[in-house]
Structure 1
Amino acid sequence: MISGRKDGPLMKSTSPPLSRASRIAIAVAVGSLLGCICAFLYPDGLFHEATSRIKSSQASSVSCNSAEKVNMLKSELVSLSEKLAELKKEIRDLNKKLQLAEKEKDQAQEQFLSLGVQRKAFPFGKEKGLRTNPSILPDESINPRLAKILEKVAVQNELIVALANSNVKEMLEVWFDNIKRVGIPNYLVIALDEDIEKFCMSKEVPVYRRNPDEGIDSIGRFGGNHAVSALKFRILREFLQLGYSVLLSDVDIIYLQNPFGYLYRDSDVESMSDGHNNMTAYGFNDVSDEPSMGWARYAHTMRIWVYNSGFFFIRPTTPSIELLDRVAARLARDPVAWDQAVFNEELAFPSHPGYIGLHASRRTMDIYLFMNSKVLFKTVRKDSSLSKLKPVIVHVNYHPDKLPRMKAVVEYYVNGKQNALESFPDGSEW
Structure 2
Amino acid sequence: MAGLGRKEKGQSLRGSRIAIAIVIGVLLGCVFAFLYPHGFFSSDSTASSHRIAKSNLQIDSPPCESAERIKMLKSDIVSLSEKNAELKKQVRELSEQLRLAEQGQDHAQKQVLVLGKQQKAGPPGTVKGLRTNPTVVPDPSVNPRLAKILEDVAVGRELIVALANSNVQSMLEVWFTNIKRVGIPNYLVVALDDHIVEFCKSNNVPVYKRDPDKGIDSVARTGGNHAVSGLKFRILREFLQLGYSVLLSDIDIVYLQNPFDYLYRDSDVESMTDGHNNMTAYGYNDVFDEPAMGWARYAHTMRIWVYNSGFFYIRPTIPSIELLDRVADRLSQQRNSWDQAVFNEEFFFPSHPGYDGLHAAKRTMDFYLFMNSKVLFKTVRKDARLKKLKPVIVHVNYHPDKLPRMKAVVEFYVNGKHDALEPFPEGSDW
User: Shorter-chain-normalised TM-score: which range?
Assistant: 0.7 to 0.9
Distance 2:380 2:230 in 1: 31
Aligned equivalents of 1:108 and 1:393: distance in 2? 35
Closer, same or farther: CA 424–265 of 1 in aligned 2, 3 Å:
same
The structure number with the bigger radius of gyration is: 1
**How far has the Cα of 1:117 moved from its partner?**
3.3
TM-score by structure 1 length? 0.76
Structure 1: gaps spanning 5 or more residues: 1-94
- Could you say which residue in structure 2 is the equivalent of 1:200? 200
- Structure 1 partner of 2:157: 157
Q: CA RMSD in A?
A: 1.7
Amino acid at match of 1:303: R
What's 1:351 paired with? 351
**Contact 2:107/2:359 (<8 A) preserved:** no
Paired position in structure 2 for 1:246:
246
Q: Which moved more, 1:270-279 or 1:105-114?
A: 105-114
Instruction: Map 1:8-157; keep pairs closer than 5 Å.
Output: 101=101, 105=105, 109-157=109-157
Alignment partner, residue 288 of structure 1: 288
Partner of 1:319: 319
Distance change >3 Å, CA 106–CA 262, structure 1 → 2: closer
Q: 2:281·2:364 contact (CA, 8 Å) conserved in 1? A: yes
| Residue pair 2:252, 2:406 contacting (<8 A) in 1 also | yes
AA aligned to 2:153 is: V
Give 1:116 deviation, angstroms. 3.5
Between 120-129 and 179-188, the greater mean CA deviation after superposition: 120-129
CA distance 1:100–1:117, shift in 2 (3 Å): closer
Residue 305 (structure 2) aligns with = 305
Q: 1:229, 1:284 → 2: CA distance?
A: 29
Q: 1:100 to 1:219 in 2, by over 3 A?
A: farther
Q: May I ask how many residue pairs the two structures share in their alignment?
A: 335
CA contact (8 A) 2:158 2:245 kept: yes
| Secondary structure of 2:309's aligned partner | strand
Please name the residue that 2:67 is paired with: none
Does the aligned pair in 1 maintain the 2:276–2:374 contact within 8 Å? Answer: yes
Q: Give the TM-score of the pair, scaled to structure 2.
A: 0.76
Instruction: Provide the residue aligned with 2:409 in structure 1.
Output: 409
The amino acid across from 1:135 in the alignment is T
Query: How much has 1:103 moved relative to structure 2?
Result: 9.8
Which residue does 1:274 correspond to in 2?
Answer: 274
The 1-side partners of 2:367 and 2:195 are apart by 35
Structure 1 340/120 Cα, relative in aligned 2: closer, same or farther at 3 Å?
Answer: same
**Aligned equivalents of 1:312, 1:376: Cα separation in 2:** 19
Q: What's the offset of the Cα at 1:126?
A: 1.0
Decide whether aligned partners of structure 1 residues 107 and 358 sit closer, same or farther in structure 2, where only a CA change above 3 A counts. Answer: closer
Letter in 1 for 2:211: N
Give the Cα–Cα distance (whole angstroms) in 2 for the partners of residues 255 and 299 of structure 1. Answer: 42
SS in 2 for 1:428: coil
Measured against aligned partners, the alpha-carbon deviations of 1:111-135 in whole angstroms (never above 9, x if no partner) come to: 3133233221110111111100000
Instruction: Give the structure 2 partner of residue 234 of structure 1.
Output: 234
Distance 1:188 1:344, change over 3 A: same
Do the aligned partners of residues 173 and 121 (structure 1) sit closer, same or farther apart at CA in structure 2, a change above 3 Å counting? same
**Which stretch has the larger CA shift, 254-263 or 113-122?**
113-122
SS of match in other structure, 1:131: coil
Q: Which whole-Å CA distance do the structure 2 matches of 1:107 and 1:408 have between them?
A: 47
The percent identity for this pair of structures is 78
The yes-or-no answer on 1:167 pairing with 2:167 is: yes
* Structure 2: segments with no counterpart, 5+ residues: 1-94
- 1:329 paired to 2:362: no
Q: What corresponds to 1:383 in structure 2?
A: 383
SS in 2 for 1:155: coil
What letter matches 1:354 in structure 2? G
Write the letter of the residue equivalent to 2:399: H
Distance in 1, Cα, partners of 2:325 & 2:243: 16
1:394 match: secondary structure: strand
- Matches of 1:153 and 1:249, distance apart in 2: 16
